[in-house]
Structure 1
Amino acid sequence: MPAPETPMFRWTHQAQEELETLLHGHVAERSFPCVGAKAALARGTLDVLACSRIDSAWDDLRIHDGLVRFAAAYRAEPTLFRSYAVVFEGPDGLDEPAFEIALWERIQSLSDKDVWRGQSYDGRVSHDPDSPHFSLSFGGEAFFVVGLHPNASRPARRFARPTLVFNLHDQFEQLRADGRYESMREAIMVRDEKVAGSRNPMLARHGELSEARQYSGRVVDGAWRCPFHYAGGSDPA
């Protein structure tokens, strides 16, 4: 006989359906600027995981499990426009500094689990958050994170629930190799400017400035220091 449904089981399945639908609807909105996310949604390759709170470690093992599976699936079939979005039910009252703290707490915890589980760091990128070649790595694949939350100052980063979208670094390299990166980047910036009234001052190309400054969406100055520290071995990049 199948195991009886527990309250947690019922919550998880209900939350998964509700939060996945919520994010898909948000990305599908005409004003949403990221054409890459729209392409992933259209292709059915925008994976969503519903979790409880961004300021809690409760779901970190589930998130890391999903990232490792996502990385392995990409290596088996390295097609463009895939994203792994973790949508948290709350809290929805975090201001930008508080969201940034919670984002880096989750990232640090996930990275520590990657080390604990014996995953190697992607050798194409640096794990030093001060390096212009920095990216995160989970399951041996480099990732760039985009944070969304209700109180983001940039409209493009504003969403009803705290969310971390993990994008594969290799996909940006594929787009560069195909000669499509600059045109896609410009399209996103133009759409963002149309919504916000100005271009995002935090956007930079990989290799110019550390991408860590962009993750939370908060505008930071030159004195900002990333709280991330990789707990594994020496820097591969």
Structure 2
Amino acid sequence: MKFKSVFDIIGPVMVGPSSSHTAGAARIGRAARNLFGKQPTYAEIIFYGSFAKTYQGHGTDVAVVGGILDFDTANENIRHAINIAKEKGIKVSFFEEDAAVDHPNTVRIKMGNGLESMELVGVSIGGGKVEITELNGFDLHLSGNHPSILIMHNDRFGAIASVTQILAKHEINIGRMEVSRKDIGKEALMVIELDQNIDPLIEQELADAKHILHVSKIVD
């Protein structure tokens, strides 16, 4: 196995005790916050596999909530995240499920604010690295380790081209891209990992493009 840097071996700078159960969990929570785009008023957190058995002892619960509060993995306030969430008026609930999952470190996050809601599934694959495997019923493979944009759009001719043309115009390079849809002609989802973050003006230009319904992003 080849490592890109020493951080692939020793893991990220983080509040302990575990890169998989703490840093990875925080990154999943923060990805959920980034994609929702605002502070929620509630968060339901469902743990599976190893997470379900050890989340309290390993601090996975506070880590996920810390991510939802937009704390990075080194933020010492992660230790107090549940109390901070309560102070901010966020109702947090934890559940354990014994359903079969593909990875033992799996968490499902349901969050919203009464007007909007979102459901996300993430797995912590080790060393603080994560994958987002489901978003609002769409299957995907998103690492969460690169700047990314997720674009909900109508499954129409030209929707993908309009997005790639905007990115090319602004010299934004695409590292990886996947598209999924629930049915022909219905809603579809573009997942695009980029080499750099995009600024709000480009994000708005994408949102205004033909057939685009919603744009979310995960920043590096």
TM-score category (smaller protein)? under 0.3
Larger strand proportion of the pair = 2
TM-score (norm 2): 0.23
Larger helix proportion of the pair = 1
